[in-house]
Amino acid sequence: MRRRLAALLSDCKKRPTALFALLALGPLAGTAAPASSGASGMVGVSGRETVRAMTLANGMKVIVWPVKNIPNVALYNWVRAGSRNEAPGITGLAHFFEHMMFNGTTRRQPGEFDRLMESRGGSNNAYTSDDVTVYQDWFPRDALDLVFDLESDRVANLAFAPKVIESERGVVYSERRLRVEDNSQGLLAEQVQAAAFVAHPYHFPTIGWPSDIQSWRVEDLQRFFRTHYAPNNLTLVLAGDVVPDQVFALARKYFEPIPRQEPPEPVRTREPEQLGERLVVVRRKAQTPLLQYAYKAPAASDPRGPAVNLLLSILVDGDASRLHRVLVEQQKVAIEVSGHWQEGFDPGLLWLYLTLPEGSDPTDVQEILDAELANLVSRGVTDAELRRAKNLITAGFWKRIATIDGKAHLLGEYEVFHGDWLKMFDAPMQFESVRREEVQAAAREILDRRRRTVGVLMPTNEPEGAGAP
């Protein structure tokens, strides 16, 4: 659902608002024709009447959006478990588990999942965030039965081969080196997030701390599987060239026999109120300094959500956005500005990421940035800014919904994080109805210095671990 770091991957630098970030750059296609209405010209989302949903006897929910423009299907299997469900010693386990879901069952050898799927025209991927683990398949409609067989098999019969655990451990460590240890942005963000949360498990990096990566045991995996991979903790979403009744029949055949389990223990810890600004400084061999702000922000389901997304869009979305205009174009103190709201089950963070020119002093930049943010809080936003942000977010929504992948992804996001897939169809209206005062109120509450963590990456000439005074 969300990139943890907008700057990490090059394709999402310009669209930092999490909800409508990334994915298909295509415009709308298919049946989801917007009805032209309202000031933005495209508010109503059609298709609502074609989506069907049912819940299996074991509590697993299945949502289907039939679309016939290409003979393919996108499938998303949402598991309500992420690094938020971890504890010291097993950090990174949810993500490691995601990798292990491809590595064999009591019925199938390691590797067979991918071999079978690819040989029938399907591809797949998966991702893990602080909150969820999501499995994705994209395949021709004829492979539907096989995909149900494969997906249910790994939920019912996952097996752990010791040799595979070891090689996959190496793979995950390599991923950590790529995203964190050899990456200024990733390294700093990991430290900032850990400092921002002192009690809540959002403190843990999703990739896991190195010592935990080295020491996960098979028993840890088995326990995680028993706890979280119950059908009643999963939501399956399909979009594409399928007939809902056939999908439901397959779901009954393959998933319904898997017994329901006790729901996992809820995450009880709530992050205590932050009482003052925190500062994290990372010294690393690098050329460019970085500055990151992480403000405490509401959970995904918060009614202020649309206002928060609009606020972020006004700040960083596009060359006409406030912070880009002032920091990059006018004052030239940053070379890149992006942002991201980590929308999860629990209150998370609203991030601002700045890349600074070589040799600049982050303290100077902070002063300019703080003045801009204070200005927005005190004076609010203009009608034109709000109009632009609404149009950008709505257009981003339509571009995502133009593909079967985007449809399945969005339905799942709304079902899992907002409690009902139906709310997706009201999303453009939700944004459209936000008023200037609501954006300003969100700014006032969130952009509070006392509730932020500031991260600074200071370049040194020495490799890590050496020479920092």
Partner 1 sequence: MIARFLLKLAAMTSMVTPVTGTALAQSDASVHIPPHERVVLSNGVTLIIVPQRDVPLIACNALLRGGELGDLAGKPGVASLVAGLLEKGAGERDAFQFADAVEGVGGSFGASAGPESITIRGQFLARDQKLMIELLGAALLQPRFDEAELEKLRKRQIELIKAAKDSDPSELIGTYGRAFLFRDHPYGRPVIGNESTLATIGRQEVLDYYRTQFGADRLTLIFAGDVDAPALKAAVTKLFGGWHKAAGSAPALVAPARLRQRRVLLIDSPGSVQTYFWIGNVGVDKRYPARAALDLVNTLYGGRFTSILNTELRINSGLSYGARSGFTRGSVAGEFAIRSFAQTENTGKAIDLALQTLTRLRTDGVTGEMLDSARAYLLGQFPMEFETAADWVAALGELELYRLPADYINGYASALRHVTAKDSRTVIEQAFPTADSLAIVLIGDAARIREQVKDYGPVTEAALTRPAFDTASGP
- Report the residue from 50, 55, 109, 119 that binds partner 1 according to the rule CB under 8 A: 119
**Pairing between β-strand 452-460 and β-strand 278-285 as defined by DSSP bridges:** parallel
CB 370 → partner 1: shortest distance, Å?
22
CA 424 to chain centre: 16
Q: Residue 169, interface with partner 1 (CB under 8 A)?
A: yes
Give the interface segment with partner 1, choosing from 94-102, 273-281, 296-304, 447-455 (CB under 8 A).
94-102
Contacts to partner 1 from residues 269-308, by CB under 8 A: 285-288
Give DSSP secondary structure letters for 228-240: H--GGGEEEEEEE
Report d(CA 457, CA 227) in Å as an integer. 38
Nearest to 273 by CA among 199, 182, 365: 199
CB 298 → partner 1: shortest distance, Å?
19
Q: Residue 181, interface with partner 1 (CB under 8 A)?
A: yes
Give the interface segment with partner 1, choosing from 36-44, 153-161, 214-222, 413-421 (CB under 8 A).
36-44
Q: Residue 99, interface with partner 1 (CB under 8 A)?
A: yes
Nearer to partner 1, 21 or 373 (CB): 21
Q: Residue 145, interface with partner 1 (CB under 8 A)?
A: no
Q: Residue 332, interface with partner 1 (CB under 8 A)?
A: yes
Residue 125 pairs with which residues in a beta bridge? 136
Q: Residue 207, interface with partner 1 (CB under 8 A)?
A: yes
- Report the residue from 153, 175, 256, 445 that binds partner 1 according to the rule CB under 8 A: 175
With the CA atoms of 183, 332, 338 and 312 taken in that order, what torsion angle do they form, in degrees rounded to the nearest 10? Answer: 160
Contacts to partner 1 from residues 353-372, by CB under 8 A: 355, 357-358
- Report the residue from 129, 191, 338, 440 that binds partner 1 according to the rule CB under 8 A: 129
Q: Residue 33, interface with partner 1 (CB under 8 A)?
A: yes
Q: How far apart are the first and last CA of the chain?
A: 39
Give the interface segment with partner 1, choosing from 127-135, 250-258, 264-272, 408-416 (CB under 8 A).
127-135
Nearest to 109 by CA among 161, 34, 152, 49: 161
- Report the residue from 394, 408, 413, 455 that binds partner 1 according to the rule CB under 8 A: 394
- Report the residue from 16, 47, 104, 186 that binds partner 1 according to the rule CB under 8 A: 186
Residues in contact with partner 1, counted by CB under 8 A, come to a total of 111
Nearer to partner 1, 85 or 403 (CB): 403
Q: Residue 104, interface with partner 1 (CB under 8 A)?
A: no
- Report the residue from 150, 312, 392, 443 that binds partner 1 according to the rule CB under 8 A: 392
- Is residue 354 within a helix (H) or strand (E), and if so which, with residue range? strand 348-355
* CA distances (Å), origin 190, targets 104, 411, 433: 31, 29, 35
Q: What angle (nearest 5°) sits at the alpha carbon of residue 61, between those of residues 60 and 63? A: 150
Q: Residue 72, interface with partner 1 (CB under 8 A)?
A: yes
Q: Residue 10, interface with partner 1 (CB under 8 A)?
A: yes
- Report the residue from 216, 255, 295, 398 that binds partner 1 according to the rule CB under 8 A: 398
Take residue 414 and report the two structure tokens written for it.
């709304």
Nearer to partner 1, 380 or 459 (CB): 459
Report d(CA 378, CA 380) in Å as an integer. 6
Helices (H) and strands (E) in the chain, counts: 15, 13
CB 275 → partner 1: shortest distance, Å?
30
What's the chain's Rg over C-alpha atoms?
A: 22
Q: Residue 395, interface with partner 1 (CB under 8 A)?
A: yes
Residue 278 pairs with which residues in a beta bridge? 453
Nearer to partner 1, 288 or 430 (CB): 288
Nearer to partner 1, 353 or 451 (CB): 353
Take residue 286 and report the two structure tokens written for it.
């690098």
Residue 87 burial (C-beta neighbours within 10 Å; 0-12, 13-18, 19+): exposed
Report d(CA 298, CA 448) in Å as an integer. 13
Take residue 267 and report the two structure tokens written for it.
């995450």
Nearer to partner 1, 52 or 285 (CB): 285
Q: Residue 30, interface with partner 1 (CB under 8 A)?
A: yes
CB 428 within 8 A of CB 410: no
* CA distances (Å), origin 152, targets 72, 105, 221: 20, 11, 18
Q: Residue 89, interface with partner 1 (CB under 8 A)?
A: no
Report d(CA 171, CA 277) in Å as an integer. 37
Q: Residue 409, interface with partner 1 (CB under 8 A)?
A: no
What region does 47 belong to: left with phi over 0, alpha with psi -120 to 50, or beta? left
Nearest to 312 by CA among 374, 411, 393, 396: 393
Nearer to partner 1, 32 or 410 (CB): 32
Nearer to partner 1, 207 or 446 (CB): 207
- Report the residue from 50, 55, 89, 178 that binds partner 1 according to the rule CB under 8 A: 178
CB 181 → partner 1: shortest distance, Å?
5
Take residue 385 and report the two structure tokens written for it.
């800014």
Contacts to partner 1 from residues 210-249, by CB under 8 A: none
Nearer to partner 1, 205 or 305 (CB): 205
